């Protein structure tokens, strides 16, 4: 007779317990992987923002340091003279006009031809600034023309466009760069634009993408001959000082600039909040990372020393 063997197996309850434990382990692995991936994405986005911010601050800082530069035309100890209680600027260089000027909420007409005709937006928005100095092929990128020309912020050639304030007869080159933020027509993101006077229409092009905000404050001296900052002012406060545009903005010694960079892509896990340029904590509701970066730049040509 054949022996009857006892069948051995797993019960349904044991199988259900095994499957449950396996699913729990898999869920834990997936959760750890998702958290690691999200952290890695945020770290990569933060590094990208830091790199873009460094480029932006360096670019703006370079132009701010050059503001008001002009080759000296006379061997004088100072370019100011005091008569009575008033201080006047002595014309000892080709360029002695407004070297830097800002608008708290951006320009309302950034393509207008004359610097003195620039007006500011009344509504809230990122700041804007214009920088001017005497240019040549040494302090700007020379063009490929023959002979080479000085260029603006977009590498567009600039012909002689100014008459010397020193002798009234010499022609020289003024470089003018207008920096502001706007939403790009192609990118759809807010970018840093520059319009240069290499064209009469100051047509602007984007320089750096994902610059979400720009806030500027200006270190102001008591007058055009002083080299010590007594307070920081907004553009509107400088315009309200009571003097001419050249006199008001000629008192600027330094620029405190703050930018807010935005990440390229959104993080579905959320990114929390950030501190903006005013020091306020802002919640990022659109899941994009943002981070504020700041710097203080001295206007070398107003610092009271020679380089």
- CB count, 10 Å around CB of 294? 14
Do the Cβ atoms of 280 and 271 come closer than 8 Å? no
Give the separation between CA 282 and CA 37, rounded to whole angstroms. 25
Give the separation between CA 212 and CA 191, rounded to whole angstroms. 7
- CB count, 10 Å around CB of 234? 16
Give the separation between CA 83 and CA 120, rounded to whole angstroms. 34
Do the Cβ atoms of 142 and 154 come closer than 8 Å? no
Give the separation between CA 298 and CA 252, rounded to whole angstroms. 9
pLDDT digits (tens, 9 = 90+) for 49-85: 999 999 999 999 999 999 999 987 765 555 565 656 6
Closest by CA position to 50, among listed 254, 210, 255: 210
Q: Which of 36-40, 118-122, 125-129, 190-194 has the lowest mean pLDDT?
A: 36-40
Residue 89: pLDDT band with limits 50, 70, 90: low
Residue 180 is predicted with a pLDDT of: 97
Helix/strand/coil percent split, the chain, to 5: 25, 30, 45
Token pair listed for 172: 């020289």
pLDDT digits (tens, 9 = 90+) for 191-222: 999 999 999 899 999 999 999 999 999 999 99
Query: H-type helices in the chain, by residue range?
Result: 12-66, 235-239, 245-249
Do the Cβ atoms of 211 and 189 come closer than 8 Å? no
Q: Which of 116-125, 229-238, 247-256 has the lowest mean pLDDT?
A: 116-125
**Strand, coil or helix: 176:** strand
**Strand, coil or helix: 264:** coil
Residue 306 is predicted with a pLDDT of: 47
Kindly report the CA angle at 188 between 268 and 207, in degrees rounded to 5? 110
Give the separation between CA 42 and CA 55, rounded to whole angstroms. 20
- Sorted by where each begins, the domain ranges of the chain are 41-302
Torsion on CA atoms 194, 199, 202, 208, rounded to nearest 10: -20
């Amino acid at each position: 007779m054949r022996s009857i063997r006892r069948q051995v197996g797993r019960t349904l309850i044991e199988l259900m317990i095994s499957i449950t434990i396996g699913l729990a382990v898999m869920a834990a692995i997936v959760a750890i992987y998702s958290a690691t991936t999200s952290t890695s994405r945020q770290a990569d986005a933060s590094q990208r923002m830091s790199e873009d911010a460094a480029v932006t601050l360096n670019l703006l800082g370079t132009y701010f340091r050059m503001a008001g530069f002009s080759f000296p035309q006379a061997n004088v100890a100072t370019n100011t003279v005091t008569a009575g209680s008033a201080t006047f600027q002595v014309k000892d260089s080709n360029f002695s006009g407004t070297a830097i000027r800002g608008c708290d909420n951006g320009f309302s007409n950034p393509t207008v031809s004359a610097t003195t005709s620039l007006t500011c937006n009344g509504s809230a928005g990122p700041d804007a600034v214009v920088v001017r100095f005497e240019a040549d092929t040494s302090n700007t990128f020379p063009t490929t023309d023959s002979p080479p020309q000085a260029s603006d912020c977009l590498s567009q050639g600039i012909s002689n466009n100014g008459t010397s304030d020193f002798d009234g007869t010499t022609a020289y080159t003024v470089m003018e760069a207008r920096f502001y933020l706007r939403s790009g027509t192609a990118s759809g993101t807010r970018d840093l634009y520059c319009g240069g006077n290499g064209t009469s229409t100051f047509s602007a092009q984007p320089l750096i993408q994902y610059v979400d905000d720009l806030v500027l404050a200006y270190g102001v001296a008591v007058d055009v001959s002083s080299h010590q900052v007594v307070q920081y002012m907004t553009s509107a406060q400088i315009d309200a000082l009571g003097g001419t545009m050249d006199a008001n903005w000629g008192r600027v010694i330094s620029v405190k600039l703050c930018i807010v960079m935005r990440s390229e892509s959104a993080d579905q896990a959320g990114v929390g909040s950030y501190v903006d340029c005013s020091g306020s904590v802002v919640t990022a509701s659109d899941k994009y990372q943002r981070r504020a970066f700041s710097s203080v730049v001295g206007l070398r040509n107003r610092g009271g020393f020679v380089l």
